[in-house]
Amino acid sequence: MTQSQNSSTAPTGPRAAPPVASAPDRGPAGPDARILEAAMRRALDLAAQGPAHGPNPRVGCVLLDAAGRTVAEGFHRGAGTPHAEAAALAAARAGGVDPRGTTAVVTLEPCAHHGRTGPCADALIEAGVAAVHVAVEDPNPVATGGAGRLRAAGIPVATGLLAAAGEELLRPWLRAVRTGRPYVTLKLATSLDGRVAAADGTSRWITGAAARAHAHAVRAQVDAIAVGTGTVAVDDPALTARTVDGSLFEHQPLRVVVGHRTVPDGARLRGPGGPLLHLATHDLDAALRELGGREVRHLLVEGGPALATALLAADAVDELHAYVAPVLLGAGSPAVNDLGVTTIGEAARFTTHDVTRLGDDMLLVARRTDPAGARPGTAGRLGGHTEEEI
């Protein structure tokens, strides 16, 4: 249960200030609400330094002494490395600080399971921390339970401190864990009139160098990139994440092809880059569940129109990245095929999250707004498309 966020200890003295509305009840005496919020913001900044890709969440931890001073901090650097809490405790000890009696401010509920490392909840208990403040409760059924374990050991735990910021940081990971399928980002690179290729099929390059560099940086942050077999046949993509000078980023996402047609032996997808996974199916739900079972948390879909249309029609797109160039083609392939929309009220609508200028191009990032009662992760078959089109 989340502790009440409606009460706080009134500050005293010349530094008195109203309690911060977003801070939870801190329970026992300790750092005041302003200090806790500042510490959580720092923990979130630390967490953001961890890798966005991979099966594990990005987590940051700050340790405060009884006076509210930061004595150590840490963040999770990726699979197989110490978790944020363990890293902060190690940093404290390395600096000659006994963590006993400190307050741990953590972006995600400490885990309670044995993986490559021991449970973070146990590490905090053994260290003798006095209290723990958490932004987001862990929905992962494998790892959850840390707050309960801490409370059972007599350590107060308050959750919900800057929860919205914590949810934003962990957005793809949280959705994937909660639904059992990846967070799906659909990339579209189009002319002003919504074309992805000219009438003769040429498409390189509609957008400019800055937009393409940004798109490659996004590739380097996701777990997998997907295209349909039609795109493989027409464009022969490599689906690698490349730097501005053309070299490969250290992290290369899994390359996923959806559809029944085979990937040719000489395809660029079989060259340098991430592993190749061919999902010989037209069943989107099965494909997404398969990727979820492989711990793919964030899937970037780059086309073509048939796959994009099927995902949109199945309400399986969580986020749109629309790169729009100031180019008019007038004819050619559209970014999206018929969605079955016959009136404006049936339009697939998203909420604008951000708009960025990239050279002469614009990037619109829009996100789905889940209707009340919607079933998470709903997806269907690639209905209406022939094998030759996908």
Q: What is the pLDDT of residues 48-76, one digit of tens each?
A: 999 999 999 999 999 999 999 999 999 99
Residue listed under structure tokens 């498409």: 203
CATH number of the domain that 131 lies in? Answer: 3.40.140.10
- Report the sign of the C-alpha dihedral through residues 104, 45, 219, 386, in that order: positive
Domain that holds residue 312: 181-367
Q: What is the mean pLDDT of residues 209-217?
A: 96
- Alpha carbon separation from 114 to 109, 110, 123, 146, 180 (Å, rounded): 15, 12, 12, 12, 21
Within a domain: residue 37? Answer: yes
Residue 100 pLDDT class (50, 70, 90 cuts): very high
Q: Are 107 and 169 in contact (CB under 8 A)?
A: yes
- β-pair partners for 158: 133
- Sheet containing 254-258: order of strands: 276-279, 254-258, 224-228, 298-301, 183-190, 319-324, 361-367, 351-358
Q: What is the pLDDT of residues 247-266, one digit of tens each?
A: 999 999 999 999 999 999 99
Per-residue confidence (pLDDT) for residue 18, from 0 to 100? 37
Per-residue confidence (pLDDT) for residue 112, from 0 to 100? 86
Q: What is the mean pLDDT of residues 215-234?
A: 95
Closest residue by Cα to residue 225 from 177, 180, 173, 273: 273
Q: Of 121, 143, 169, which marks where a domain is finished?
A: 169
Q: Are 290 and 339 in contact (CB under 8 A)?
A: no
Q: Of 138, 169, 200, which marks where a domain is finished?
A: 169
Residue listed under structure tokens 């990971």: 173
Mean of all residue pLDDT scores within the chain: 86
Tell me the two tokens of residue 184: 């799906």
Residues 215 and 348 in one domain: yes
Per-residue confidence (pLDDT) for residue 321, from 0 to 100? 97
Within a domain: residue 389? Answer: no
Residues 125 and 196 in one domain: no
Within a domain: residue 277? Answer: yes
Within a domain: residue 308? Answer: yes
Burial class (CB in 10 A: 0-12, 13-18, 19+), 364: middle
Within a domain: residue 75? Answer: yes
Residue listed under structure tokens 């010989």: 280
Residues 199 and 111 in one domain: no
Burial 330-339 (b: 16+ CB within 10 A, else e): eebbbbbbee
Residues 157 and 186 in one domain: no
Residue type for position 311: L
DSSP secondary structure letters along 271-338: SSSS-EEEE--SBHHHHHHHHHHTT--EEEE---HHHHHHHHHTT---EEEEEE-S---SSSEESS--
CATH number of the domain that 281 lies in? Answer: 3.40.430.10
Per-residue confidence (pLDDT) for residue 347, from 0 to 100? 84
Alpha carbon distance 57, 70 (integer Å): 23
Per-residue confidence (pLDDT) for residue 390, from 0 to 100? 53
The vertex-88 CA angle with 82 and 93, nearest 5°, equals 105
Residues 266 and 221 in one domain: yes
Residues 250 and 318 in one domain: yes
Q: What is the dihedral of CA 48, 53, 56, 61, to 10 degrees?
A: -10
* Element of type H or E holding 353: strand 351-358
Alpha carbon distance 110, 87 (integer Å): 13
Closest residue by Cα to residue 187 from 380, 363, 20: 363
On the question of pLDDT at 346 being above 90, the answer is no
- Alpha carbon separation from 262 to 104, 195, 348 (Å, rounded): 52, 27, 32
Within a domain: residue 203? Answer: yes
Tell me the two tokens of residue 26: 């801190």
Within a domain: residue 123? Answer: yes
Residues 149 and 204 in one domain: no
Residue 16 pLDDT class (50, 70, 90 cuts): very low
85 is catalytic: yes
Cβ neighbours of residue 360 closer than 8 Å, sequence gap 6 or more: 208, 325, 326
Phi, psi of 316 (to 5 degrees): -110, 10
- β-pair partners for 186: 301, 320
Per-residue confidence (pLDDT) for residue 29, from 0 to 100? 53
On the question of pLDDT at 193 being above 80, the answer is yes
Residues 219 and 158 in one domain: no
Residues 131 and 241 in one domain: no
Q: What is the pLDDT of residues 29-43, one digit of tens each?
A: 578 999 999 999 999
Q: Counting every residue, how long is the chain? A: 390
Residues 154 and 203 in one domain: no
Residues 149 and 102 in one domain: yes
Within a domain: residue 1? Answer: no
Q: What is the pLDDT of residues 351-372, one digit of tens each?
A: 999 999 999 999 999 998 764 3
Q: What is the pLDDT of residues 295-331, one digit of tens each?
A: 999 999 997 888 999 999 999 999 999 999 999 998 8
Closest residue by Cα to residue 80 from 60, 106, 55: 55
The vertex-201 CA angle with 196 and 207, nearest 5°, equals 35
Q: Which member of 37, 73, 85, 319 is catalytic?
A: 85
- Alpha carbon separation from 275 to 35, 282, 283, 306 (Å, rounded): 45, 21, 22, 23
Q: Of 145, 169, 193, which marks where a domain is finished?
A: 169
Per the structure, the count of domains in the chain is 2
Residues 290 and 346 in one domain: yes
